[in-house]
Chains A and B, each alone.
Chain A
């Protein structure tokens, strides 16, 4: 009771200080799952921007499961009839929610700020519905990276691999030298992240599109896919026996320490290196997965806004505009380790890996090889994605034979469509 009174008192004081000019205080309640360390620091930039513009940020974080818990909360809130003002959201979920008719139209802001020109077309199927903008993308994470311990690589006397065969050679040498060649955390999504890259390098962007995005049965159950699974099995031989269940950042720690030579992971891994005071280019190197230079498999964080009346509330509009402002895009992504969603943001504030990421993105966008990552929900809907996860992880953990895997994949996808 006392605490409530204190809060009430504090609230009233805050109201008074906001100013007599405003009829009501503006606020946005936002559901998200960026709850610790670097992620929260990045999002705080948005909170501070909004605060300067007189909008209060009401935080509603729900961590866990890469957003699964937050999405459950969102479902409950919408069912109860009290949706938040905005929510973080990924991939196909955005289209599902748009279909329900609960998302607010952001087109007025998009037109004013030139989103159509600045945001790559690869994102439009996700961020637009019926020709209208319904989501504000914050960044591009890409997942076809390898992170290499420079000292270890030098010890082997090798250069960073650029083709699959070179990769196998390097990993073989590392194994012979007593290092753990590949640091892996044995969770389905991590195995699927590797799978993404191998599909891309084995069959090229066209095969990736056909199998992962169009879900063509002929592409899923094909000799090329068999090769993909064989390569997965090859990589399986390069991980240490204790990989199962390991968290991804413990795997990164193995590379940072030098026990392992490399990790295949998205660019959020950079945050771990930076936190351990390692410098890009000196202590570690970021390279595209061998054979995938020129293409980018992406994963984008976006914010959607919920209808609270006929139009966007002023606070919501402000938040949407802020998210796509060039200054925010730069500040946020420098902290988060990803690359801006807008292609017209200058790269001066980014480090070596960031600059490379921005350049690669522009290149991929220009050539139509900017492709959504299957492992992170940007190539196909969650039902299909998880069906693929099932097959990939069973194969990787030895529950499914390599020869049977392509057919299993095709069957699982067919059952989940």
Chain B
């Protein structure tokens, strides 16, 4: 990789004075508005949400502090436990399958395929369509009475059985399926670019040394794609946590509450059930969990490049 040492203004001989001091400050000044925006609109609002979770807010915010009631109530709700269980399942499977499948497709497409452009578009397009829309198509598709099962029965394969969508234990996996369908193309594109960025010399050297294709991929290529994994995981994790449209369109949170996720839980308790403080408490818990996972990951990844 190319060198990434920073330019230190002091290392370049220049005249000292106010002009230089301004030059020192300029980068920070330029970054400052964005940083300030993030501080206010992200962290400020996070603080507001934390505050709200300590109030008795119902339909609209009430700014009287009353303590941890909302958290007590939150942890008594079976829906919340279901949401936590589901985000663990959904999050892990979503990230693993998207990156795994994306990587596989990228490797396959990298093999000098003739219709590469067309295939790439086919894998990418799901990301372009809002899920409010494709949700209905998927719902039909997976519904035994309307979709795949019915079609296969009509075509003769009568022992085919696929009722995950309406099965309370398996419904969450249909959400995984639909989610993976939507995001795999994007991962594939990222990995494809990463693959193309690998120096051909290294690969040729490995070939000369007699390494098999699989070994080359496993020992050389995939480790070199580590930075791509970082971006992929961040983007996927953010999409998994925020998937609201996906769940609502596909299962509406059902059957029963089998596909409740923290995002649907939070919306439901804040806006539908008029229990804003419980919704805020759930958001705080979600953020804490995300921080617990993402921060160490970021730390380890960013630290690596310290010189």
- Per-position contact with A for B252-270: 1 when CB-CB < 8 Å, else 0? 1011111000000000100
Q: Does A393 reach chain B (CB closer than 8 Å)?
A: yes
B273, A382: Cβ atoms under 8 Å?
yes
B143, A65: Cβ atoms under 8 Å?
no
Chain A's closest residue to B139 (CB) is A245
Chain B residues numbered 63-91 whose CB sits less than 8 Å from any CB in chain A: 73, 76-79
A242, B144: Cβ atoms under 8 Å?
yes
B272, A390: Cβ atoms under 8 Å?
no
Quick one: given A187-B254, A397-B255, are A245 and B166 in contact (CB under 8 Å)? yes
B144, A383: Cβ atoms under 8 Å?
no
Determine which of A75, A96, A186 lies in contact with B166 in the assembled complex, contact meaning CB atoms within 8 Å. A186
Bin the interface of chain A by size: 20 to 34
Quick one: given A390-B79, A393-B254, A394-B257, are A244 and B274 in contact (CB under 8 Å)? no
B274, A245: Cβ atoms under 8 Å?
no
Q: Does A381 reach chain B (CB closer than 8 Å)?
A: yes
Quick one: given A96-B59, A245-B165, are A386 and B254 in contact (CB under 8 Å)? no
Q: Does A213 reach chain B (CB closer than 8 Å)?
A: no
Within 8 Å CB of A397, what residues of B? 168, 254-256, 258
Q: Does A24 reach chain B (CB closer than 8 Å)?
A: no
Q: Does A80 reach chain B (CB closer than 8 Å)?
A: no
A382, B274: Cβ atoms under 8 Å?
yes
Determine which of B143, B165, B168, B275 lies in contact with A383 in the assembled complex, contact meaning CB atoms within 8 Å. B275
B268, A386: Cβ atoms under 8 Å?
yes
Bin the interface of chain B by size: 20 to 34
B76, A186: Cβ atoms under 8 Å?
no
A394, B256: Cβ atoms under 8 Å?
yes
Within 8 Å CB of B146, what residues of A? 242
A94 to B156, CA, bound (A): 55
CB distance from A416 to the nearest CB of B (A): 8
Quick one: given A96-B59, A241-B144, are A75 and B271 in contact (CB under 8 Å)? yes
Q: Interface centre among A100, A246, A383, by most B CB within 10 Å? A: A383
- Per-position contact with A for B140-174: 1 when CB-CB < 8 Å, else 0? 00011110000000000000000101101000000
Chain A residues numbered 75-96 whose CB sits less than 8 Å from any CB in chain B: 75, 78-79, 93, 96
Chain B's closest residue to A95 (CB) is B59
B272, A188: Cβ atoms under 8 Å?
no
**Please, could you name 17 A-B residue pairs with CB atoms under 8 Å apart, sorted by A?**
A93-B274, A97-B59, A186-B166, A186-B254, A240-B145, A244-B166, A244-B254, A244-B255, A245-B251, A382-B274, A383-B58, A386-B273, A390-B78, A393-B255, A393-B257, A399-B258, A415-B77
Within 8 Å CB of A399, what residues of B? 168, 256-258
Within 8 Å CB of B77, what residues of A? 415
A398 to B254, CA, bound (A): 12
A390, B257: Cβ atoms under 8 Å?
yes
Q: Does B60 reach chain A (CB closer than 8 Å)?
A: yes
Determine which of B254, B257, B271 lies in contact with A72 in the assembled complex, contact meaning CB atoms within 8 Å. B271
Chain B residues numbered 253-307 whose CB sits less than 8 Å from any CB in chain A: 254-258, 268, 271-275
A97 to B274, CA, bound (A): 11
Determine which of B143, B163, B166, B272 lies in contact with A68 in the assembled complex, contact meaning CB atoms within 8 Å. B272
Within 8 Å CB of A71, what residues of B? 271-272
Within 8 Å CB of B271, what residues of A? 68, 71-72, 75
A72 to B279, CA, bound (A): 14
Chain A's closest residue to B169 (CB) is A399
Chain A's closest residue to B253 (CB) is A188
A96, B254: Cβ atoms under 8 Å?
no
Measuring CB to CB, which residues of chain B are less than 8 angstroms from any residue of chain A?
A: 58-60, 73, 76-79, 139, 143-146, 163, 165-166, 168, 251-252, 254-258, 268, 271-275
Within 8 Å CB of A242, what residues of B? 143-146, 166
Assuming A187-B254, A397-B254, A415-B73, what are 4 further A-B pairs, CB within 8 angstroms? A186-B254, A245-B255, A383-B274, A386-B272
Chain A residues numbered 340-398 whose CB sits less than 8 Å from any CB in chain B: 381-383, 386, 390, 393-394, 396-398
A294 to B58, CA, bound (A): 36
CB distance from B219 to the nearest CB of A (A): 46
The prevalent SS among residues of B at the interface is loop
Quick one: given A245-B251, A390-B78, A415-B73, are A398 and B274 in contact (CB under 8 Å)? no
Within 8 Å CB of B272, what residues of A? 65, 68, 71, 382, 386
B254, A188: Cβ atoms under 8 Å?
yes
Within 8 Å CB of B79, what residues of A? 390
Within 8 Å CB of A386, what residues of B? 268, 272-273
A244 to B147, CA, bound (A): 14
Chain B's closest residue to A102 (CB) is B60
A245, B254: Cβ atoms under 8 Å?
yes
A79, B60: Cβ atoms under 8 Å?
yes
CB distance from B268 to the nearest CB of A (A): 7
CB distance from A92 to the nearest CB of B (A): 8
Chain B's closest residue to A387 (CB) is B273
B274, A187: Cβ atoms under 8 Å?
no
**Nearest 8 pairs between A and B by C-beta?**
A242-B145, A244-B166, A397-B256, A244-B255, A96-B59, A394-B256, A397-B255, A386-B273
Within 8 Å CB of B76, what residues of A? 415
A75, B165: Cβ atoms under 8 Å?
no
Chain B's closest residue to A97 (CB) is B59
Chain A's closest residue to B251 (CB) is A245
Determine which of A65, A188, A240, A381 lies in contact with B274 in the assembled complex, contact meaning CB atoms within 8 Å. A381
Within 8 Å CB of B145, what residues of A? 240-242, 246
Chain B's closest residue to A392 (CB) is B256
Quick one: given A186-B255, A244-B166, A415-B77, are A100 and B60 in contact (CB under 8 Å)? yes
Within 8 Å CB of A65, what residues of B? 272
A79 to B276, CA, bound (A): 14
Within 8 Å CB of B258, what residues of A? 397, 399
A64 to B85, CA, bound (A): 27
Within 8 Å CB of B60, what residues of A? 75, 78-79, 100
A187 to B256, CA, bound (A): 8
Chain B's closest residue to A411 (CB) is B76
Chain B's closest residue to A398 (CB) is B168
Chain B's closest residue to A96 (CB) is B59
A373 to B216, CA, bound (A): 66
A274 to B176, CA, bound (A): 39
CB distance from A179 to the nearest CB of B (A): 15
Within 8 Å CB of B59, what residues of A? 75, 93, 96-97, 100
A100 to B276, CA, bound (A): 15
CB distance from A93 to the nearest CB of B (A): 7
CB distance from A65 to the nearest CB of B (A): 7
B273, A245: Cβ atoms under 8 Å?
no
